[in-house]
Amino acid sequence: MAQPRILILGAPGAGKGTQSARITEEFGVDHITTGDALRNNKEMDISDMDTEYDTPGEYMDQGELVPDEVVNAIVDEALSQANGFVLDGYPRNLEQAEELEDMTDLDVVLYLDVDEEELVHRLTGRRMDPETGDIYHLEYNPPTDPEVEDRLVQRDDDTEETVRERLSVFQENTEPVIEHYEAQGDLERIDGERAPDDVWEDVKSTIESAA
């Protein structure tokens, strides 16, 4: 079997990172995220584009959003170097979905479907140990050490107000992407509300059937 080319979609908190790690291990493909691709190509020469800076790193150093056309070029570069992949965090909008069609042929598009209230519950329950940076969850993955439990903090990203705003932005931008793949008959909906092992069984069999 050729190495599969997989796109994984899902809101923040849907479990994309967990499932992508298992896909990488099981199928021997690269896990490509836009964040990693940007960090790995900070020095890429984009001077031929009509952009403010000559490298993606300059946008990042200034704390500015990297323009879509630059992100597209970086993702294209990362995909061209990969022998099979699971792409996570791209496309974020319909224009990027159309760009992606020019870059590669996908074998399967997975969508981890999780209800908004469950996503809010998952994300607002996250806590960080400021001494180690380790992430816990008050319900699903609490620390066993009472000392660690006492020093846990909630990150600003994980407050309910911020979480609902992130989910709203995701829905506004990415819902058209989901509808796009659904209209093409390419979208495989996975019930992401179950335990990670149960979700994985579904993800694995869906990839094996499609690839």
Catalytic (active site) residue 126: yes
Does 122 participate in catalysis according to the annotation? no
Among residues 92, 151, 164, 189, the one annotated as catalytic is 92
Residues that constitute the known binding site for AMP:
34, 39, 64-66, 89-92, 96, 155, 166
Which residue of the set 22, 42, 166, 189 is catalytic?
Answer: 166
Is 155 catalytic? The answer is yes
Catalytic residue chosen out of the listed positions 5, 122, 126, 127: 126
Q: Which of 5, 16, 122, 127 is catalytic?
A: 16
Residue numbers in the known binding site for ATP are 13-18, 126, 135-136, 194
Annotated binding site: 13-18, 34, 39, 64-66, 89-92, 96, 126, 135-136, 155, 166, 194
Q: What is the 3-state secondary structure (H, E, C) of the chain?
A: CCCCEEEEEECCCCCHHHHHHHHHHHHCCEEEEHHHHHHHCCCCCCCCCCCCCCCHHHHHHCCCCCCHHHHHHHHHHHHHHCCCEEEECCCCCHHHHHHHHHHCCCCEEEEEECCHHHHHHHHHCEEECCCCCCEEECCCECCCCHHHHHHCECCHHHCHHHHHHHHHHHHHHHHHHHHHHHHCCCEEEEECCCCHHHHHHHHHHHHHHHC
Based on the residue annotation, tell me whether 16 is a catalytic residue of this protein: yes
- Which of 155, 164, 189, 204 is the catalytic position? 155
42 is catalytic: no
Active site residues: 16, 92, 126, 155, 166
